[in-house]
Amino acid sequence: MKPLYTDPLSGEPSRKIIKMALISRTVILFLMVVYSGCAPKPLPVSIPGPVPAMSGNQAFQDAERALENGLYTEALDGYSLFLREAYDDPFVDDALFKIGQLYRLAGRDDDAIAVFSRLNREFPESALIPGATLEILNILFDGGNFESVVKYGLAYIEPTDPTRLRMPFFFIVADAYEAMGAHLEAARFYYRAWNTASGADVEVAWTKLKNTAEQLSADDLQQLISQVTDRRLMGLLLYRLGMAFILDENYDDAMDVLKAFVERFPEHPDYPDASDMIHSLTERARFSPFSVGCVLPLSGSYALFGQRALNGIEMALSQTGQMGGGIPFTIIVKDSRSDPDAAKKAVDQLDQQKVGAILGPMSAAEAASKSAQARGIPILVFTQRDGIPDVGTYVFRNFITPQMQVQSVVSFAVEELGARRFAILYPDENYGRRYMNLFWDQVVNYGGVVNGVEMYDPEGTDFANPIKKMAGIFYDVPKDLGVTSIPRIQTSLLPFMENANRSEKDLIADPVERISGIPLDRKAIDNLGRHNSDREDQWHPIVEFDAVFIPDAPKKAGLIIPQLAYYDIRDVYLLGTNLWNSGTLLDMSGEYMKGALIADGFFAESQSETVKQFVAAFKHAYGRVPGFIEAVAYDSAMMVFQTMRQSATDSRRDLKQALLQINDFEGVSGRTGFAQNGEAEKTLHMLRINRGRFAQVQRTAENLSSEPRNLNIISDKPKAQSKTQNLTVNPEPRTRR
C-alpha cells in the first residue's frame, strides 16, 4: 500500500502521519458538529519533534513501515514488540508517542491517555512532551471534560519555560473556558494566544478574542481593559464596553466611554458607529425646556394622597412663576392609578413628550423608577419602599424614611438629653421589627446600650407581661430580698422640659408629676399602685434605661404609655415615630406624654419663616393646613424648578448631575440634599409635648452635626457589649426577633 504521507525532502515516513490523520478525522467531526448545531471542539495543534534517524531495532523498523503503509494494527504490534525488546533504545519515547496516537485513532481514548501520561512521566526531557500533553488535552476536550482541560493545561503552561512553544495550550485552555461559559477567562487566554501566535494563527486568535469580547459583561470588560496594553485590543474593548453599558441601560457611562473611544481611536473601523451612537444618546437626553412630568395616583384607593401631592406641586409651580419673573414652566400630569403597568405607561408617555424630570409616584414607585431609568429621565419618587434609589443613577427619593427618623431621634436623645441606656417595646409585626432593628443599630452607633427589648401582640390591649419583663418585675421578689428604697434616675429634662431654668431644689420629686406636669396627690398615686405597702402587687421596677422606644400607631401607643406609668416606669423619655404626631395620642395619654420625643418631616406650626409663608399660602389657596405629603411634594418640585432655571440645560443627563449637587436646600420639610445614590439627606423636625400639644425643639449649636460622637457610657457593663446580651434584671435573655 502506498504510504499516507512522506517527507517532501527525504522521502522518509513523516512523524506527522498520525497527526494529519487526526486532523482529517477532526475536520469530519467538525462538519458533523456544525450541521448538528453543537459547538465544535478545537482543532488539534501539531507539535512535531525532530525527525530521528531510523532505529536499528528490526521491530521498530517494521512498525514504521507498517505505519507508512496505513497498516495501523501491524504498526501497533510492531511498536509494542519494540518496547518489550529494547526499552533502553533512544526511540522508546517516539514509539510511545505513536502508540498513543494509534490508540486515539482507534477510539481507545483511555488507553491513549495512559500511554501519553507514561511518556510524560518516564521521559520528562523528551522533545515529544508538549505533543503528548496536547494530545491528552484534546482527548479530554473531545470528551467534554473542560474543567480537566483547564486544570491540566494550566499545570503545563504556568511552570513551562516561556521560550518553549505554549501558544497551542493557550488556545485549548481558552476553548475550554469558553465551552464552560467563563468568557472573561477565555478572553484572557485568547489574548495570550494572540500575543504568542505567528502566521495565520494570529488572525485565528484575534477572531476568537473578538468573538469572546462581544459576550463579556461591562464588569468583565473593565477588568480586561485594566490588564491589556495593546492598542488594537484596547480599541476593541472600549467600543464593546460602550455597547455593554447601553445594553445595561447605563447611558451616562456609555456616553463617557464612547466619547473616549472616538477621541483615542479615530482610525478604528467602529469609529462611525460609535459617533452615530453618541449623537443618538445626546438627542435622546434632550428635553423641552422647563417641562416637568407628574405621575401620581389621582384615582383609586390612594387618590386622596395623590391629590395632596399634586396640590403641593401646584403651589410650587405658582410660586416659581412669581419668583422667576414669569418663566413658563409646564406640568404634565399622569394618573398612575397605583398600578405598576399604568405607572410605567405614564413614564413612557412623558418620555415621548420630552419632559426634563418626573415628580412621583407614591405607590408603584419601583415600576416607574425602572422605566425612568431605562429612558434616562430624572425621577423624584415619594415612597419609603426599600431599594428604590438603587434602581439606577436617575432615580431620586425625597421622603422621610424609617432610617432618617430613628437616626434623628437617637442622636437627639443622646446628644441633647444625655440618654445612654435604652429599652425597646415593639409590636411583633414587620413594621415593629424593622424599627426595632434600626433603632438598636443607631443606639450602638451613638455609643449607647440597649438594656431591654420586649415585643407584644399587635392585636392585644394588655401589655403587663412585656412591661414587667422589661422592668425586671415579671417574677415575684422573695420577701428576704425585698427592696424598700429604689434609687431613681434624677436626670433633668434640660431645655427639653418646660421651666428648665428652675433650681435643683425646685425639681418635682415625683416622676409622674415630672413627666405629666400635672400635680397628683398621694391618694391618686396610691390608686395607681405605687409604694402601697398594703398591696401584694406593689411594683419595684428596676429601670436600667433612660428612654423607651415604642414604634407603633397612636391608638396602640395611647394604651401602652399609661400602663408604663401604672408599673412605675415614669421617669424615662418616651420615643416614637412620626405616627405619634396625632391628636389621638394626646387625647388618650396626654398627661403622661410630657417626656415624649419624635422626629417628623414637616411641622405646620413651626416658627420657621419659610414654613409660615408656605402654610399661609397653602391655606389661602386650598382652605386647609398642609401636611407632610403636600410639603415634600412642594419641596421636590421647587428643587427641580430651581435647578432647571439655574442650570439652563436641555439635557436630562446634565439636569441629573445638577440635582445631585443639591446639598443645602432650605425646604419646608427640612434642610435637604442628595447623596450620590439619589437618597435624600434631610434634617427632620424634632417635636415634643408642650401644654398638651406638640412643639418644635432645636438642637444646640455644638450638636448640629448628625454624625455619631464618641460618648462615655453610663453603664456597669463594658462598652463593647453584644446587642443580644441581657443587660436588664430579667432571667430571660434578650435577643432580636
At 627, the amino acid letter reads: G
Q: What is the pLDDT of residue 245?
A: 94
CA distance linking residue 252 with residue 654, whole number of Å: 10
Q: What is the pLDDT of residue 320?
A: 84
Domains present along the chain, CATH in parentheses: 1-143 (1.25.40.10), 288-400+608-675 (3.40.50.2300), 418-472+508-600+700-731 (3.40.50.2300)
How high is the mean pLDDT of the chain? 81
Split at pLDDT 50, 70, 90, the class of 325 is low
| Cβ proximity of 424 and 549 under 8 Å | yes
- Ranked by mean pLDDT, the top range of 423-432, 481-490, 727-736 is 423-432
Long-range contacts of 216-220 (CB under 8 A, 24+ apart): 216/183, 216/184, 216/187, 216/240, 216/244, 217/244, 218/244, 218/245, 218/248, 218/250, 218/253, 220/183, 220/184, 220/187
Residue 3 has pLDDT above 50, yes or no: no
Residue 291 has pLDDT above 60, yes or no: yes
Residue 71 has pLDDT above 90, yes or no: yes
Q: What is the pLDDT of residue 601?
A: 94
| Cβ proximity of 483 and 540 under 8 Å | yes
Share of the chain above pLDDT 90, in %: 64
Q: Nearest 5°: CA angle at 239, between 234 and 241?
A: 95
- Residue closest to 606 by CA, chosen among 698, 500, 704: 698
- Ranked by mean pLDDT, the top range of 45-54, 256-265, 513-522, 582-591 is 256-265
CA distance linking residue 286 with residue 727, whole number of Å: 60
Share of the chain above pLDDT 70, in %: 77
Split at pLDDT 50, 70, 90, the class of 513 is very low
CA distance linking residue 157 with residue 31, whole number of Å: 30
Residue 493 has pLDDT above 80, yes or no: no
What are 143-187's pLDDT values in tens digits?
999 999 999 999 988 776 665 667 899 999 999 999 999 999 999
Residue 589 has pLDDT above 90, yes or no: no
Range 80-97 average pLDDT: 91
Backbone angles phi, psi at 220, to 5 degrees: -65, -40
Range 597-615 average pLDDT: 94
Q: What is the pLDDT of residue 1?
A: 30
| Of 52-61, 382-391, 498-507, 627-636, minimum mean pLDDT range | 498-507
Split at pLDDT 50, 70, 90, the class of 536 is low
Which of the pair, 737 or 470, is modelled with greater confidence?
A: 470
Backbone angles phi, psi at 473, to 5 degrees: -120, 20
What are 641-691's pLDDT values in tens digits?
999 999 999 999 999 999 999 999 999 999 999 999 999 999 999 999 887
Taking residue 159's Cβ as centre, other Cβ atoms within 10 Å add up to 7
Q: What is the pLDDT of residue 167?
A: 87
Q: What is the pLDDT of residue 34?
A: 31
Q: What is the pLDDT of residue 527?
A: 52
Q: Which three cell numbers stand for residue 69?
A: 503503509
| Cβ proximity of 724 and 733 under 8 Å | yes
Q: 426-441: b or e for each residue (b if 16 or more CB lie within 10 Å)?
A: bbbeebbbbbbbbbbb
Beta-carbon contacts of 166 under 8 Å, excluding residues fewer than 6 positions away, are 157, 160, 196
Q: What is the pLDDT of residue 106?
A: 92
Range 571-593 average pLDDT: 87
Which of the pair, 539 or 629, is modelled with greater confidence?
A: 629
What are 92-109's pLDDT values in tens digits?
999 999 999 999 999 999
Split at pLDDT 50, 70, 90, the class of 503 is very low
- Ranked by mean pLDDT, the top range of 125-129, 326-330, 356-360, 478-482 is 356-360
What's the CA dihedral at 594, 599, 604, 605 to 10 degrees? Answer: 40
Q: What is the pLDDT of residue 310?
A: 97
Strands (E), 297-448: 330-335, 357-359, 379-381, 395-397, 421-427
